[in-house]
Structure formats: structure tokens, C-alpha cells
Structure 1
Amino acid sequence: MIIKTQSEKWNFRMSYPRCVTNLIGSCLAVLFTQFCYGATPVKIDFSGLKSSGVVLAGNGHASPILVESTNNEAVLRAAHDLANDFYHVTGCKPKLIHGLPDRVKNIVIAGTLGSSPTIDRLAAKGILKTTGIKGKWESFVWQIIKNPLPGISHALVIAGSDRRGTIYGIYELSQRIGVSPWYWWADVPVRKQRFIRACGERFVVGPPAVKYRGIFLNDEDWGLRPWASKTFDPKIGNIGPKTYARIFELLLRLRANYLWPAMHPGTTAFNAFPQDAKLADEYGIVMGSSHCEQMLRNNISEWNEKEYGAYNFVTNAQGVLKYWEQRIRENGKYENIYTLGMRGISDSGMPGGGTLLQKAQRLHTIISDQRKMLARWVNPNVRKVPQIFCPYKEVLPLYHLMPKLPDDITLMWPDDNYGYIREFSNAQERKRHGGAGVYYHVSYWGRPHDYLWLCSTSPGLIAEEMTKACDYGANKVWILNVGDLKPAELDIEYFLHLAWNPHAWNGMNTYDLLEKQFTRDFGAAYAPKLTSIMSKYYRLNFQRKPEHMLVNLTNTFSTTLNGDEAEQRIEAWQKLSTQAVAVGKTLPVQWHDAFFELVGYPVEAAAAMNEKCLALDEYYTGIHQNRIDRLTEAREAQAQIHRLTDIYNNQIAGGKWRYMMSDNPRGQLTLNIPQLPQNDTNDVVRHQNIPTAIKPSPVSSCSMPGADFVEKGHHVIMEAEHASAFIPGKKGVCWRKIAGVGYNGEAVTVFPRLIPVLDQPKMILKDSPCLEYKVCLKDTGIWKVTVRALPTFSVQAGKPQRYAIAFDNASPKIISLPYSTSEYDRQWQQDVLRNAALTTSLHAIHTAGLHILKIWMVDPGIVIDAIEAESGNHHSPLGYVWPSETKN
């Protein structure tokens, strides 16, 4: 059979409702491709046993690699990398040749359709089958051909539909023989092999589901720039061509194609080095610029008021246009995506003042002028020039007031900087030729608080939000704000893997991709343990990021966790840190650096940060008897963070990453631990009104056959994914479990997502999917039900997410999640820091005994994590995390 990309498999499956197709699973897709193509997939074998196929290396010899010089220089460069990769794996470097040899037994032939005479010759003869790649975007085929040309016995042919398709096919071979995409950036060792054979027949990869896929290097002040300046490229003393060359290679090995370069004050602008743009083209990377840097400019470094005047389109339109046009004249010959519109220098609002309507009209004029510029210098048919418009922050309301945006411009929807996408394309926007994309964060500097240190955004949240956006048409451009790149390695690969194939994620396989990455980089014996460790790391950080443990909207310290909750969290982190250290010690020594960078440092540092913050919290609130001991523990945890960071910067990989890791970016994490006052004693400083987590008492409880949840201590607590019944709605729409989100690692949402809003009681009862929870209640009277959901945005622009709720046969009550588009809104700030939006509803219970709590979808895209019901006559605070379920 032909093994096609997961995206192609899932395109077949996605023609049916997801809740149906997931029961069938990937087996159906495999059977489908077998039926259609009937070939054996190409595999790489290291056994050395005699079999058919192409010997790529063995007996101290590596087979040559043919890549004709007529191919694009980016392909030639990648082929050079492949030869080096074979050398690192086998100790034998294959000869890189540019013309057909007279006679050779085994050979690798790589080239692009239309650029490689040999590839085209094989295709014309029908020997090389180009079905599945011809005319496609960034696709490739591997095919093993016996006697393909005179004098050649066996060939592994790698043919690409375009230059990047060929490059991806080349790097696929590098990865299959044992060279991780992270061999350099995360020091993953190359696995040594004495013999390598390719066997089988053929397989096709591509096209990607998302056309342009890349990263944004941002907030580089505390890691990437100091490291590049002082360690990696001191001759340049900044982020220059040497650093970008390494980044370009990494992107291609991860099948990415797009970059927004670093742009903060102090960082030399990308185009300040004339060779940077040419270098990007030599690698095959598409360049762009951020949401606040239109037309490939770096305003912070490049805007010169003496030369151009004020950066203000109202008072100095010609100066601003001249500034933009200069860059387009210089770089228009390369492959770029042009950011349109205008924002202020340093990520501020557009200069010029005026009403919202006046600003919107100004944006319309600016975009029109920018497109005329692109038509002059890039392509007279401006519709063929890739362009994006990113309505970030204050620009989003302006977009809705603008005259119609030209149809070919890609709408780049931003998240709220904390992983929740602010808007999705409506039915009309999904018809636009330019389609839509997403600008997403796993690192951020801004309100309500930074997270620039560790990368802790859950792969589950990335998958839930990005695949939802894709369902609503965002499949043209995905870009990820990765901060300093390190330590975001795991999230970067996860994001880019999804960009290639969003619907490989089915909700419950969130960590499968991570386990495959660990299997590739650490081996099958260690992958399950490492995946387990990181899934717990993401779950605990979903409850509260390490950088946010010291944050409270009203006080200096967190007071987010109290009493037993704090102790349980400290214990959970200590246990996880101990587990990570133990696993790290069992790894062969050559894997120690990679382990520390990808797993050890984030887990141990996050554990120390939690211990420090919670100990400080207990010291300041005085809720613990051993108050002075808590201060000592906080200081020891702080010292541990510094020790770990010193190891990262100065000890691993022989000091390769010196200055890369800051445990205190922007001075936000240390928050000086105070000296103990001389008159301080062990006396407890009692603070009033400090909430503590409830402890349901088994004395006051209700139990009966048929109930799945029971009242204990006048409370009922239910994890959403443990519903007694999942009742499907109209046309197979159903609630389904998803993993990797929620306080306990699972939650529920509705699939498919591209469905109508159901906001009328009759529609809800008739058409909406329903969650049912069978509960035994002892108390009668008014019960308050609190639903903990993720703070997601509705697929309907400008409206809140909603669900409907009722007990038994009562009419559904429609409940709205808090809604805000302002980063100054205190409720939104609280919700994104805790990754939860809490809503309540009141319900009258007239009889004790068995009842059914029902929750219906109103707005697709809502994600529900947990539910708590509380008897109205016995109020007690829930705490932060909530206690365990009250199961029957």
C-alpha cells in the first residue's frame, strides 16, 4: 500500500461526524489506502539481513546520492545535510554527485519534478509514479525502483512536487536513519548504525493541511539574543546569519516553512544583514514579519525619524509609504508573506488618533496603498502575492468596522495571548479566497502576567484550539510565538505536527505524538515513562503556570491554594521531580543533556518554583504553624532554581547553551525573598477569611442504587468526562472526552465543531447533545451548580460561550461564560491565569433521592472540565482545585 499523510487519511474520515469515525479509527483509513493503491510502504531496516531493496550503507561504504545541479539551491543544500547525516550515523559519508554514474549497484536519487532531468525521465517512462504529488503543494514520494536506468541496479527515489517537498523528503530519510530534528537544538544523540537498507515499494507524504507553518522568535532579550551574542556568534555580537541558518534548518527538519524573525530593542534587525534574506531563500524559508511590523519591516530598529519623518499615516503618509516601499524593492524577489495594515512602534496602537470608525477607514486606505506597492514590485496580479492581516489586540474591533477586506488577504486570527483563540471565521469569511490563519502563543510578555521562562502550554490545549480553528477554515497560515525557542522544543514540534495534519488529533490521543517524539529521540524503552512525566507536568501547569504562582490580582503573593490543596500540590510536584530525576539517571550518558533540556530542567524547575511560592504564601499568611521553616524552604527552593539554571547554562553540552536560560526574565520571578525580622517568632500571624478547600464529610451523605454521584457534606462533585450518559444530538453531534486539558487531565467538548448554535429551549431539547449525571441528593431546596469550563471564545464573534443546564425534566437554563475582549478586564485576567471560567446556576430540588443533572451544548467549541453542586443551606468555599469526585 501507499502510506499517505495522516491528513489525507483523515480527510477521508472527516467526511463523517467525528464521534462516528473515531469508533472506526485509523484502521479504516489504512484499508482505504490499501484498496486504492496496493503498494508496500518503504521502510528503513538496520538488521543487515539479506533482503530486497536498496542498501544505503554497509561494509564501510555508503551509496551515492544523486541530486542534479538543475535543482533549486535549497534542495542541493539539504542533500549536503543528508550526506553529513549518513556520515554521523554510519561513519561513512556518501558521495554527493550531480550527474548519472556509469555503473552503481545502489543509489539515492533526489530531485524536484520539473527541475531534475532524471526524475522527469523516470516519471515520463512511468517508472516513477507521481500520483499524489504532481501539482500538489510541498509533497513528496519515496519509491524503490529496480533497474531504473542503465548501469543502476537499485534506487531509492525521493521526488518532490516542489523544492520544499523534495527537502522534506530528504530530511525524512535523515530522520528515519536516526537523526532527530533536534540533534543540534536539543542535543539529541545520533543513533549509530553499521547497516542501512530501504525496502518496500512506495509511499507518499503531503500535501500539508496548513499551507504556511512557522514560528515567531519573540521576547528574545533574556535567552536567544544573549546566547547568540556571547556564546554562539560573538563575532557578530547579536542574532545574525549564523543563528538564522541553524533556525532555518530546524524548521525544514520539522516540515515548517515560515518565520517571523526576532525584533525586540537591542536585536539587530533581520534585514540589517543583507545576507539574511538571501540565506532564507537558499534554505527555502518563507519570511514574514509580526503583526506590528508591516511589509517586512522592523520598526524598532529600522524606523529613522530624521530620514522618514513621524511614524504617523495621518501626518506623514508619504514618509511611511516610502519606508515600506524601500523594503519591498529589496526583498520582493524572495518568497515572503506580507503583513498588511499598521500598528504603532513597539507593539502599540496605530498612531494618528481618531474615532474607531476613522481608524478603520484609515486601515482600509493603508492596505489599499500597500497592495499597490506589492503590485508594482512583486507581482502585477496582487492576488497571487501571499498577504496576511492580523487583527491583534486593538485591531480586532477595527476589522469589524472596516470596509470589506480584499478577498485574497488571509485573515490571521490571534489568540488572547494565553492560548484561547479570540475569533473564528464565520460562514462568509470561510468563503474568502485568502482564507484564514492563526497567530498563537506559548510564550508571552504582557497582562495579566508574563510567562517567559518555562514552556508549559498543554499540547491538549494547543490541539483543541488549533483544530477547532482549522475546522472553521483557518488552514492557510499558522504561526507560533515561541519566545526564545528554547525551552519550547516539545510544544514547537507538537504545533508544527498538527499544522501538517490537524485531524491526526482525535481528542484522546493527545500524548501519542509526544510519545512518538520521545520514542524517536530516546528509544521505545524510555518513551512511555517520559510521556507520563510530561503529561503530569502539563496537567499540573494547566492548573497554574509556574510564572503565575506568585500572582494575585489584589495581593503580592498568590493565595491561590490553601491548606491541604497547597500541601497536595507540593507533594505532587516533588513526586514528579523525583520521578524525572530517577528516569534521567537510567538513561545512557550520551542522552543526559537532551533529557535535561527537554524534561529534567522544566520539571525540576517548575517543582522548585511551586515549592518556593507556596511556602512563601504560607509564610506571609501565617496559616502554617512552622512559619519560619516555610521561609527557609522557600529560600532553598529559590537556590535550587538557580542551581538548575547554572547547570543549563554552564554544564550541559560543554557550555554550548551559556546565557540561553534565564530563570528570571524581566525580573518577574524572583520577587526578593525577605530577610526574617529580628522580632519574628514562631507565632502564627492569623489572617481572617482565608478560604480552605472543602472536605466532604461521609457522615452527611446520600447513597442509592442507580446513582453515579452522591451528596457528601452537602456537595456533589463530578468530573465532566465521567458523565453517566453521553446523549447524541441531531446528525450525530455528540459530547466527547478530550485529554490534556482540565485540572485532572481530561474534559469534554462537542464534535463536530462546525455546527449551528442552538440557543432556543425547543432546539436545545430536540437537537443538542446532552451530558447526563445521575446524582443522589439528600438535601432539598435550592441547589447551586457551578460549572468549571475553559475560558474559550465562542465561534460567534462578539458573543459569550454558553451551555444549558437543568435537573430532571425542568426547562433548560442558558448560562453564559464571562466574556471580554479587553486585556484590562479583571475577570478575564483571573480566568486565563487559572485556565478556568466558573459559572453558576440555581435549581430547586423538591424531593430527596435520585436526580439527573443535564448539560446541553448551546455554542459549539465550549469545553467543560468539572461540575459542583452545593446545597443552598450549607455554603462552604470550594478552594482552588476542588476536592475529589463524590462517586457512589
Structure 2
Amino acid sequence: MRLKLFVFLLLLPACMIKGRTFHVANTVVSHDKNESVSVCKAIDALCADIGKVTGTHPEIKVGKAKGARIIIGTYGESKQISALVKKGVLKETDLKGHWESYVITVTKDKNPCLVIAGSDRRGTIYGIYEISKQIGVSPWYWWADVPVRHNENATVDYDYYISGEPSVKYRGVFINDEDWGVKPWASHNYEKELGDIGPRTYARVCELLLRLKGNMLAPAMHSCTGAFYSHPESKLVADSFGIIITTSHCEPLLLNNAAKSEWDSKRDGEWNYKTNKNTIIGKWEARLGEAARFENIYTLAMRGVHDEGMRGNLPMEERVRLIQQVIGDQREMIARHTGKSIADVPQIFVPYKETMDIYENGLCVPDDVTLVWVDDNYGYMKRVSDENEKKRGGRAGVYYHLSYLGAPHDYLWLNTTAPVLMYEELKKSYDSGADRYWLLNVGDIKPMEMGIQTFFDMAWNFSSFNIVNVNNHQAEMLAGIFGSKYKDEFQAVLDEYYRLAWIRKPEYMGFEYEWDDAAHTGLRDTDFSFGNYRDAQRRLADYEGLSNRVEMMARSLGDDNSTLKESFFQFIQYPVQAAYQMNRKFLMAQLNHELYSAGRYAEANWSARQTDMAYDSIRSLNGRYNGMLEGKWNGMMSVPPGFCALYHKKPNVAYTDGEEEKVPGDILEYDSEEKAGLKGCHVVDLAGYDRKTDEVNIIKGMGYDWQVVQLGRPGATPKEIKGQTVPAIEYIFPKVDRDFIDVIVYTVPFWPLHAKRGNAIGISVDGGEKSIYDNRFEEYSRRWKDQVMKNGAEHRVTFAVDKTRPYHTLSFFIGDSGQMIERVIIDWGGLEQSYIGPSGK
């Protein structure tokens, strides 16, 4: 029995074993003089954090100090850490040669010391900020105003904790499309003396990254913003924090050609390597001369200016040759300026948009370079490494979006990417070798806080997540801030918030397409129905209930003179209530149009006023956001108009003078699925299968009804559907009075893993001939645009059935493993159009 207990304790993570208790108040912090500036900054921050929590600010002493009770140091730099290794307090094998790792221990002395030792400077910094987190200082204490609660008896409990290396080597954010948030906020508020995003803002960003255990930053780069290197202090600030600078796919060798200060076609000529090579090389040489002494990750190859395609309109064969030459020239420059072997310098190649085609057509990317795979800007990975690419020395990485400006529609406003989708797509990538570099497009940082936290927690320790617990991650985060008693409520709110946004993002409620033809441009009424399906009523009621729910939670927080309510507003109340008002605005406008056309003018007047009120409510919510905390965030929050989107505007409505307002009660009421116009149909309960194989999972946290069926594990070997005799999953559905039925299958619109894979599933009814559905599409095609806007691909197939059978069996077969079914409808005459609203179950 004793042996079993001993083995059990050995298997527990160090952080789960109750350690020795250390009181952080009234203490002295000691570090060696050799510590880097970045570690010293973090030590200062820790002392400030202890002061905020306990009311007593620790004294900092350099060198071995009598009475020191917190000892901080980096392996190979700190004599104190070396001495503790020799004494056996620290194990050298836990630090030597490890990337960004740390050890935290409390010594066994009569007057114990807290020891924080890092394998390198960032490892030490992460250990420092882990203590801050343990005593109650959130990484979001400044960026989301999470209050720091006073606790003069604050303690940490550690025996001997080893962090281990991060799951992903390089982890960072890209501040992008900053025109409507962080740029006006910094220019007119936080850095109004500079009038730009500059070193003061970047200092706050760098600190946040370190507290999140990140290590790299891709700075803002739109033309409205001064280029990162145009403010010389910015690069010094990043280096002083220990943050690596990387750049987006369109900024080769740290050069931002979207900024006039960096590249001006009137001054510099065309951004064309074939015709203007010397000028371009001159720019790169100058940038490397300025920046190569710092820690950077270099983007190779080139695109056009900013986010445009490569200039020159060259045939594909010549494009491949030219980019091959560009990469060779760039690597020679990098090696010369850094003085290092080129294989020792981190470099990335990002096959984004047209550069993916160049890569697929034969571009040879050197083996030591990291391939950074991209999503399609809407959360779906366009591809991952194939079997040969998995063997690359440079491994692979990911560029993922929480915010995007582009076709078919921008989503720059709210954080609505479902955590389970993010996990699923990142896991596909990670399992295929993408463990070197993860970059997250975060837009303006705010209000993407929860998505950012989930991303960085996965990047740090991916093995701690699975397809079940990832959906609970953000609720647990919020419960840790606002109280564990709210955990279940937070889970329910977030599930509903993400589900409604999955069906249709708030930014898409104008049912417009951007950068499109005339037939698809401009605001129009939604696909939700006030008539047949009554899913418009259901959507409004669901959002209203959600909004009321967070309002009641906000009121229950009380008034403790802290920033708790303001933090709650930023994290959850503003996104929920703003999303509700955006939906209310467009759905009430649609109802106005329908009522006015029907001659119900009094009721049309009522719905028109509801539209106006919703529009005003969004403005009011924005005003509250920008005005709270004495205007701390003034300029940060608006409904970004993009460059050609119209959803931020008030839709046209019709008023009739002289008519009273009347509530259209008969229309706004809804009752059940029968009243929703789904007669003659059967919506399959995906979790109510008759039988399934072990290869199939029911996953919650995605899909129109917030659960999906996953047919097999992504990455598994594809199967030949035709010869299969055993279905992966089967459903029984009732007798029908027709000879034919339509099976409508909605799948999550994944891309094939790579060129050798597809998206095939098999479907059959009553054991008959299988129909194979393989969702293939091209980026920017109408099919793809519709799918990403709807978060679903629709396939309708007709089957002959024997109407004398008492029941029928619907079977699905695995083709390309990992496909997800989000809804199935059996239709024998009741479904007049696509139905994407809630199933009503």
C-alpha cells in the first residue's frame, strides 16, 4: 500500500503537491548584478505586485544579501543560482540547455527562501510572473482592469516545481487593422504627445505578453500608424523586456512597405524585385544594419505592397524562380549582418494567399526555415504539413486570426471565435509539426482578451488541453476573477454567446459581402424568418435572455470601490449586450420592411423605433466603454467600418406619419419547433445515435446546435468509402409517407489537410447505395464565401425509400478522417429553404 501511494505521488504534477508555504509580505528580493535588464524589469514588477497585494513593497538588493528571502536568477548568469545548484537545492538538469523553463522552490531552511531560477532570461521572467499570478495579480490587471485584491497574508505554496519547456517555441501576437481601436486610443489618449502607437504602448503590450508567457510581437503596420522602426525607442523597449520582434507575411526582413516612411513608390519606385532589385536590397540592408543586433525572427520572400499580391504579373514559373532568388539574397544578408550561421537564425516563410500557390508550384524553402501555415482568415486552417514537410528541420508554425479585414466580410469588432474551433484547428497543425511558431492576429487586442488568453495557454502547455476541457477554459478564467460561484453561469453565457455567433457573427448581420459584385454588395434583410421558421423570433429572444443574464450578473457583483464591474463589462457584458443590439437592429429593420409591405403601418412604426433604439444602444455601450475609468480606454471602442462594410450604419426603415405604434404580438410570439415551420422534417439529434464506432466523437462547443459529430481523428489515413460495410455512426428516424426523402447535411467547412487529402464522408439510407460528399472549394469562390459566412457547408442528397418500412436508418461513413457534421435534417417536403437557425430541441 505504501509503495502504491509513493508511486501515485510521483506521478502527480509538482504544482498539485502541497508544498512549503512562503509569505510574500515584508521580504527582501535578491538578484545578481549580471541579470539582464529584462529580468530586472520583471523583478521590479513583482515587487510592485507584492506591494499592491500586501501593502508592503519588498526591498531589492543586488548580489548575495543577508536576510534575502526571495532569490531570483538565471542559470549561467547568477552566482547565487550556481551556488544553489551546488548545494543541491536546484537540479542543474532542470535548467541547463532548456528553452524558457523555470524552477520554483521553497527551501527547507528554518527561515525558508523562495527561489525562482530560469534556464534563460525569459524562463526567469515567466517564473517571476507566475508568482505574481499566484498571489492574485492577473495578466490582465492593466489591459482589462482586473482588480488586485488586498491580502496582507498572501502566500505561495511550492515544494519543487519544474515548468518544463513550452509546447511552442515562439508565441506572439500581431496587432493589425488597428485603424479603429488601438491607433486612435494611443494617438489621442495614451500617447497623445507622440500622436501614434509608440514605445509607451509597446511597453504595455510587451509586459502583457510576458505575463501570458509569450515571447514575440508583430507590431502594428497599417499606413495610418507610424512604422515600428520610425520611433527608435520602440525597438529598445521591446528588447528591454526581452521580446522578440517578428513581422507579418507582407513585411520581409522587418521592412513595413505599407508605411510611406519605409517605402514610397514616388520616391523609391515600384516594389518589384525584377525591375527594382537594388533599391529594395538597399532598404533591407539598412534595416538589418539597424536591427540585426536585437532578437528577431525574419520573414523571407516577398509579396506586393502591404497585403497585395506580388507585382509584375509574371508567369508562375518565373515567380517561383524570382522568389527563390529573393530568399537566397535575403539569407546572405541575414547571415552577414547577424554574424551567425544562417541555420542558427530563426526565419519563417508564410505561404499566405498567392505565395501558397508559388510554394505549391515548386518553390524550394530551405530546410532550416519554418513554414508558417495560415488559416483562411476565418479560423479554418488552409493546410498543415504533409508527411515530407513534417521532417523539416525548421519545423512548422501557425498564423491564426481572431480578427480580420477582408473579403468576404470583416470581423474586427468582437471576439467570437469558438474556443473548440481554435483548439481543433491548432491541434491539427500541432500534431503535424507546427510547434515552432504561433502568431495570433488580435486586431486591437481589446476586446479579444479571452481568445488571447486561451491561445497563449495552449501555446504554453498544449497537452493540458483536450476537446472537452477547452470549452470550459474561458469560464474558468472568468470564475477565477469574479468568483467561483459564477462558474456555471459563465459557462452557460459563453456557450450561448459563441453558439449564436457561430450561426451568424454580429458583424455579418447586414447580410452584405465586402469587395464583391453589385448583386452581393450593400445591406439587405437577413436569412432568418419571422414567418415559416420563426427563427428570427427565437434568435431575438435568445439574445435578449443572454443580455438580461449578464446584466443581472453585473448587478450582483456589488460595489466594492474596485474596478470589478468595469472589468466584467470589458470581458463579457459589453460583447454580449453589443452583439444583442446589433442583431436587434437588423432583425427589427427586417420586420419593419415586412410589416410595411403588408400594410401594417402601426406595427411597422413600432419596429422602426426598435431599430433606432438598438442603433442608439450600441452607441451608448461604446460611450460607456470609452468613458469608464475616467476615460482610460477613450478611443478604443467603436464599431469598425472596415473599408467598405455598412453594418455599423443604421439600416433604412419606413415610418408612417399619423400612425400610432403597435406591438406585432402575433408575430413576435413563438412556441415550438412545430410553429417554427419545420413540419415535414426531422432534425436529427446528433447525440441520439442508435450506434457508433469508437472512431466517432460527439463534441460540444461547435455547430449550429452547439454539438457536432466528428468522424474519425484528423490526420488518420483516409478510407475508401465504397467498400465499407460497417457505418461509423447510425441514426433511426421515423416512418415517412413519401417514396423519396432529402437528407440535408451541414458540415463544418474545413479545408483538406493538404493536397493529398479531401473532405469526403459517405451517406446512405436503409443500407442502400452510398452517396459520397466531398466538400471541395477554392478560396474567394462564391461557395467558399458562403461557407465561411455561415460557418457551415450544406449538402442535399435525395434517397429513394420504402414508405412501408416502420422506421429508417441513416448511416455515415468515414472517408477523410476528422470531418464534422453539425446538423442533419431529414426532409420529405417541409423545408422550403436552407435552415440555419436553432433546431428548437
| TM-score above 0.5 | yes
Describe how 1:85-96 pairs up with structure 2 within 5 A.
85-96=49-60
Residue 526 of structure 1 aligns to a residue whose secondary structure is: helix
Distance in 2 between residues matched to 1:177 and 1:874, nearest whole Å: 59
Please report how far the alpha carbon of residue 854 of structure 1 lies from its aligned counterpart in structure 2 after TM superposition. 1.2
Q: Is the 8 A contact 2:747 2:794 kept in 1?
A: yes
2:796 counterpart of 1:840: yes
Q: Is the 8 A contact 1:788 1:864 kept in 2?
A: yes
Q: Which residue of structure 2 aligns with residue 856 of structure 1? A: 813
Q: Is the 8 A contact 2:367 2:393 kept in 1?
A: yes
- Opposite residue 461 of structure 1, the aligned amino acid is L
Describe how 1:376-391 pairs up with structure 2 within 5 A.
376-391=336-351
- Opposite residue 103 of structure 2, the aligned amino acid is V
Q: 1:572 aligns with which of 542, 550, 566?
A: 542
- Opposite residue 524 of structure 2, the aligned amino acid is F
Change in CA separation of 1:375 and 1:878 when aligned onto 2, cut-off 3 Å:
closer
Please report how far the alpha carbon of residue 785 of structure 1 lies from its aligned counterpart in structure 2 after TM superposition. 0.9
2:605 counterpart of 1:638: no
Q: Which residue of structure 2 aligns with residue 111 of structure 1? A: 73
Which sits farther off after the overlay, 602-611 or 515-524? Answer: 515-524
Identity, % of aligned pairs?
35
Describe how 1:322-333 pairs up with structure 2 within 5 A.
322-333=282-293
Residues 744-773 of structure 1, C-alpha deviations (whole Å, 9 max, x = no match):
2221224532311113422x447xx71111
Change in CA separation of 1:545 and 1:89 when aligned onto 2, cut-off 3 Å:
same
Q: Which residue of structure 2 aligns with residue 585 of structure 1? A: 555
Distance in 1 between residues matched to 2:772 and 2:200, nearest whole Å: 57
Distance in 2 between residues matched to 1:307 and 1:539, nearest whole Å: 50
Residue 709 of structure 2 aligns to a residue whose secondary structure is: strand
Q: 2:702 aligns with which of 733, 741, 750?
A: 741
Distance in 1 between residues matched to 2:17 and 2:49, nearest whole Å: 19
2:82 counterpart of 1:120: yes
Q: 1:557 aligns with which of 524, 532, 536?
A: 524
Q: Is the 8 A contact 1:735 1:749 kept in 2?
A: yes
Q: Which residue of structure 1 aligns with residue 638 of structure 2? A: 662
Residues 366-417 of structure 1, C-alpha deviations (whole Å, 9 max, x = no match):
1111111111112441111111111111221111113321111111111111
Distance in 1 between residues matched to 2:332 and 2:702, nearest whole Å: 45
Please report how far the alpha carbon of residue 789 of structure 1 lies from its aligned counterpart in structure 2 after TM superposition. 0.9
Change in CA separation of 1:574 and 1:336 when aligned onto 2, cut-off 3 Å:
same
Please report how far the alpha carbon of residue 807 of structure 1 lies from its aligned counterpart in structure 2 after TM superposition. 2.2
Change in CA separation of 1:169 and 1:558 when aligned onto 2, cut-off 3 Å:
farther
Change in CA separation of 1:292 and 1:529 when aligned onto 2, cut-off 3 Å:
same
Describe how 1:475-486 pairs up with structure 2 within 5 A.
475-486=435-446
Describe how 1:395-434 pairs up with structure 2 within 5 A.
395-434=355-394
Distance in 2 between residues matched to 1:199 and 1:635, nearest whole Å: 55
Please report how far the alpha carbon of residue 339 of structure 1 lies from its aligned counterpart in structure 2 after TM superposition. 0.6
Please report how far the alpha carbon of residue 76 of structure 1 lies from its aligned counterpart in structure 2 after TM superposition. 1.0
Residues 120-152 of structure 1, C-alpha deviations (whole Å, 9 max, x = no match):
1111232212444432211111111123xxxx8
Change in CA separation of 1:789 and 1:648 when aligned onto 2, cut-off 3 Å:
same
Q: Is the 8 A contact 1:695 1:713 kept in 2?
A: no
Q: Which residue of structure 1 aligns with residue 126 of structure 2? A: 168
Distance in 1 between residues matched to 2:388 and 2:63, nearest whole Å: 52
Residues 583-611 of structure 1, C-alpha deviations (whole Å, 9 max, x = no match):
00111332111011111111111101100
Change in CA separation of 1:298 and 1:801 when aligned onto 2, cut-off 3 Å:
same
Distance in 2 between residues matched to 1:827 and 1:235, nearest whole Å: 48
Distance in 1 between residues matched to 2:728 and 2:653, nearest whole Å: 56
Distance in 2 between residues matched to 1:70 and 1:831, nearest whole Å: 56
Please report how far the alpha carbon of residue 664 of structure 1 lies from its aligned counterpart in structure 2 after TM superposition. 4.0
Change in CA separation of 1:744 and 1:31 when aligned onto 2, cut-off 3 Å:
farther
Residues 475-499 of structure 1, C-alpha deviations (whole Å, 9 max, x = no match):
1111111111101111111111111
Which sits farther off after the overlay, 189-198 or 219-228? Answer: 189-198
Distance in 2 between residues matched to 1:635 and 1:130, nearest whole Å: 67
Residue 248 of structure 1 aligns to a residue whose secondary structure is: helix
Q: Is the 8 A contact 1:411 1:435 kept in 2?
A: yes
Q: Which residue of structure 1 aligns with residue 248 of structure 2? A: 290
Please report how far the alpha carbon of residue 806 of structure 1 lies from its aligned counterpart in structure 2 after TM superposition. 1.3
Q: Which residue of structure 1 aligns with residue 23 of structure 2? A: 55
Describe how 1:802-817 pairs up with structure 2 within 5 A.
802-817=760-775
Residue 581 of structure 1 aligns to a residue whose secondary structure is: helix
Residue 710 of structure 2 aligns to a residue whose secondary structure is: strand
Q: 1:596 aligns with which of 549, 561, 569?
A: 569
Residues 191-214 of structure 1, C-alpha deviations (whole Å, 9 max, x = no match):
110112333411111311111111
Which sits farther off after the overlay, 378-387 or 547-556? Answer: 547-556
Residues 646-668 of structure 1, C-alpha deviations (whole Å, 9 max, x = no match):
00111x11210011101243363
Q: Which residue of structure 2 aligns with residue 221 of structure 1? A: 179
Q: Is the 8 A contact 1:795 1:859 kept in 2?
A: no
Distance in 1 between residues matched to 2:672 and 2:760, nearest whole Å: 30
- Opposite residue 267 of structure 1, the aligned amino acid is T
Q: Is the 8 A contact 1:546 1:606 kept in 2?
A: yes
Please report how far the alpha carbon of residue 159 of structure 1 lies from its aligned counterpart in structure 2 after TM superposition. 1.1
Q: 1:867 aligns with which of 802, 809, 824?
A: 824
Q: Is the 8 A contact 1:800 1:819 kept in 2?
A: no
Q: Is the 8 A contact 1:142 1:157 kept in 2?
A: yes
Change in CA separation of 1:336 and 1:607 when aligned onto 2, cut-off 3 Å:
same
Q: Is the 8 A contact 2:765 2:799 kept in 1?
A: yes
Distance in 1 between residues matched to 2:499 and 2:337, nearest whole Å: 50
Change in CA separation of 1:720 and 1:502 when aligned onto 2, cut-off 3 Å:
farther
Distance in 1 between residues matched to 2:542 and 2:189, nearest whole Å: 37
- Opposite residue 490 of structure 1, the aligned amino acid is M
Q: Is the 8 A contact 1:363 1:402 kept in 2?
A: no
Q: Which residue of structure 1 aligns with residue 457 of structure 2? A: 497
Q: Is the 8 A contact 1:694 1:877 kept in 2?
A: no
Q: Is the 8 A contact 1:787 1:839 kept in 2?
A: yes
2:447 counterpart of 1:487: yes
Distance in 1 between residues matched to 2:196 and 2:311, nearest whole Å: 30
Q: Which residue of structure 2 aligns with residue 279 of structure 1? A: 237
Q: Which residue of structure 1 aligns with residue 433 of structure 2? A: 473
Residue 343 of structure 1 aligns to a residue whose secondary structure is: coil
Distance in 2 between residues matched to 1:391 and 1:33, nearest whole Å: 47
- Opposite residue 838 of structure 1, the aligned amino acid is E
Q: Which residue of structure 1 aligns with residue 720 of structure 2? A: 759
Q: 2:466 aligns with which of 478, 498, 506?
A: 506
Please report how far the alpha carbon of residue 31 of structure 1 lies from its aligned counterpart in structure 2 after TM superposition. 9.6
2:512 counterpart of 1:543: no
Residues 708-738 of structure 1, C-alpha deviations (whole Å, 9 max, x = no match):
xxxx84322114343232213xxxxx11122
Distance in 1 between residues matched to 2:673 and 2:739, nearest whole Å: 19
Please report how far the alpha carbon of residue 318 of structure 1 lies from its aligned counterpart in structure 2 after TM superposition. 1.3
Structure 1: gaps (5+ residues): 1-27, 45-51, 685-692, 701-711, 729-733
Cα-Cα RMSD:
2.6
Q: Is the 8 A contact 1:338 1:386 kept in 2?
A: yes
Distance in 1 between residues matched to 2:653 and 2:498, nearest whole Å: 33
TM-score (norm 1): 0.87
Distance in 1 between residues matched to 2:733 and 2:91, nearest whole Å: 61
Describe how 1:818-829 pairs up with structure 2 within 5 A.
818-821=776-779, 823=780, 825-829=781-785
Q: Is the 8 A contact 1:295 1:327 kept in 2?
A: yes
Please report how far the alpha carbon of residue 190 of structure 1 lies from its aligned counterpart in structure 2 after TM superposition. 0.2
Distance in 2 between residues matched to 1:559 and 1:792, nearest whole Å: 25
Residue 24 of structure 2 aligns to a residue whose secondary structure is: strand
- Opposite residue 570 of structure 2, the aligned amino acid is E
Residue 761 of structure 1 aligns to a residue whose secondary structure is: coil
Distance in 2 between residues matched to 1:38 and 1:511, nearest whole Å: 23
Distance in 2 between residues matched to 1:694 and 1:287, nearest whole Å: 56
Structure 2: gaps (5+ residues): 514-519, 663-669
Q: Which residue of structure 1 aligns with residue 43 of structure 2? A: 79
